[in-house]
């Protein structure tokens, strides 16, 4: 067995200063977006409707960084957002939607069949489905599922909006090494 006289470089740490700074920036933006959404509610005509701008940061992390970073960001976004701006019930609803949305977006991104906008649209729909599932669980009223078509349409629309914004941001940030 031959041993190399050259010293191998130590392994590069996963959480570099640049990655931590990028995740911190995305987390801050998602919390600011979540706060702004609470200041200007859109649910006057359709209850429960939000733009979901906080999820834009998760989609960007998925495309600009990687899946573990997006998962960590999603968990922190929901946890801190729930503690800062919500209550235990809103935390449960947000968590259920975020988990289902993240799983869906991770699966679709791996296929390479969908653009960032398509993945964002699916994430918006799945977020609403997850929250509706939590509502059905809490209330034990299966009729809440009648609201699913409305939430699917709004999830597609808000997901498309977030996806288009995300595509623009991704295009501008693609020249910068974020990880």
pLDDT digits (tens, 9 = 90+) for 134-157: 989 988 988 888 888 988 999 999
Q: What is the pTM of this model?
A: 0.82
In sequence order, the 6+-apart residues with CB closer than 8 A to the CB of 19 are 65, 69, 178, 179
The rounded distance, in Å, linking the Cα atoms of 24 and 18 is: 10
Do residues 55 and 162 lie in contact, with contact meaning Cβ atoms separated by under 8 Å? yes
* Residue showing tokens 């995305």: 26
CB count within 10 Å of CB 67 equals 14
Q: Report the pLDDT value the prediction gives residue 44, as an integer from 0 to 100.
A: 64
Task: Work out the average pLDDT over 171-177.
Answer: 73
pLDDT tops 70 at residue 177: no
Q: Report the pLDDT value the prediction gives residue 45, as an integer from 0 to 100.
A: 67
The CATH class, in words, for 17-173 is mainly alpha
Q: Report the pLDDT value the prediction gives residue 116, as an integer from 0 to 100.
A: 92
Do residues 105 and 115 lie in contact, with contact meaning Cβ atoms separated by under 8 Å? no
pLDDT tops 70 at residue 6: no
pLDDT per residue as tens digits for the range 51-88: 888 889 999 999 888 899 999 999 999 999 888 887 88
Q: Report the pLDDT value the prediction gives residue 53, as an integer from 0 to 100.
A: 87
């Amino acid at each position: 067995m031959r041993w190399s006289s050259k010293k191998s470089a130590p392994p590069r740490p996963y959480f570099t200063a640049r990655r931590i700074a990028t995740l911190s920036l995305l987390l801050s933006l998602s919390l600011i977006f979540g706060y702004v959404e609470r200041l200007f509610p859109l649910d006057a005509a359709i209850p429960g409707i939000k733009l979901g701008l906080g999820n834009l940061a998760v989609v960007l992390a998925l495309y600009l960084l990687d899946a573990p970073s997006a998962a960590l960001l999603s968990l922190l976004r929901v946890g801190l957002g729930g503690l800062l701006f919500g209550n235990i019930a809103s935390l449960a609803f947000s968590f259920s939607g975020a988990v289902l949305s993240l799983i869906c977006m991770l699966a679709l991104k791996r296929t390479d069949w969908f653009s960032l906008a398509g993945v964002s649209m699916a994430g918006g729909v799945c977020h609403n489905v997850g929250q509706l599932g939590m509502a059905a669980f809490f209330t034990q009223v299966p009729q809440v599922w009648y609201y699913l078509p409305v939430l699917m349409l709004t999830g597609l629309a808000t997901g498309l909006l977030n996806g288009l914004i995300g595509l623009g941001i991704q295009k501008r940030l693609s020249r910068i090494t974020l990880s």
